[in-house]
Amino acid sequence: MIREIKEYDDRWLLRPLRDSQVVHIEWGADHFELSLDSAFRIVASYETELSPRSLAPDHPDRHVITHWRPAEVERNISAPIVSAVLFKSGCLRVGFRNGWNMFVSYRQPDAAFGIFSGETLMSDRSGMQDQVEYPVVQVDRWTGRRITAPPWPPKPDNLAINYDSDDIND
């Protein structure tokens, strides 16, 4: 198992979930819980979306999970996880080897989820939680190399730049 979580400027790649497989789904009153064959569990609300083979938010086959019968959902997400991505915007995308994708997206702002390692909350809609079991390594999005120094701070919002000036020092 890959134990590192890769952090890019806009997302985390939850690599420890890769190759985990759903072994059981618990259907609750307002959420469902995916038990994986690894140490992980995913708890999500029924606003979670599923789509066969498409990542597009407007794909006609992308629906909230309750669109399908529970037996269909269980069949559709029974393949190993090939990709688990937590976006810093609070969205989640889990891709399965059979082509199905599960989303907690910006289109469903009330949708909630939590990814647990054992009993420890690893991530949720607010982002990665402090935990030591799976180290988070920052990666440069252009080179793919680890960032060993602190990243440059972002440009301050109140920085006065005169874009009409011919002087490069303005």
Whole-number pLDDT of residue 130: 81
Q: pLDDT value at position 77?
A: 92
- Supply φ then ψ for residue 32, to 5 degrees: -125, 160
* Mean predicted confidence (pLDDT) in 18-45: 94
A 10 A CB-CB count for 20 gives 21
Q: What predicted TM-score, i.e. pTM, was given to this entire model?
A: 0.81
- pLDDT average, residue stretch 41-50: 94
**Which pLDDT score is estimated for 155?**
67
Domain ranges of the chain: 5-138
The residues with which 5 forms a beta bridge, in sequence order, are 136
**3 state DSSP class of 78:** coil
Q: Using CA atoms, how far apart are residues 19 and 41, in angstroms rounded to an integer?
A: 14
State what percent of residues in the chain have pLDDT above 70: 92
Which backbone phi and psi does 118 adopt, to 5 degrees?
A: 65, -125
pLDDT band at 137 (very low <50, low <70, confident <90, very high): confident
Please report the pLDDT score of residue 96 as a whole number.
96
Summarised one tens digit per residue, pLDDT across range 101-129 is: 999 988 877 888 999 999 999 999 988 88
Across the range 3-27, mean pLDDT stands at: 92
Q: How far apart are CA 35 and CA 45, in angstroms?
A: 15
Tens of pLDDT, residues 58-102: 889 999 999 999 999 999 998 999 999 999 999 999 999 999 999
> How high is the pLDDT of residue 107?
80
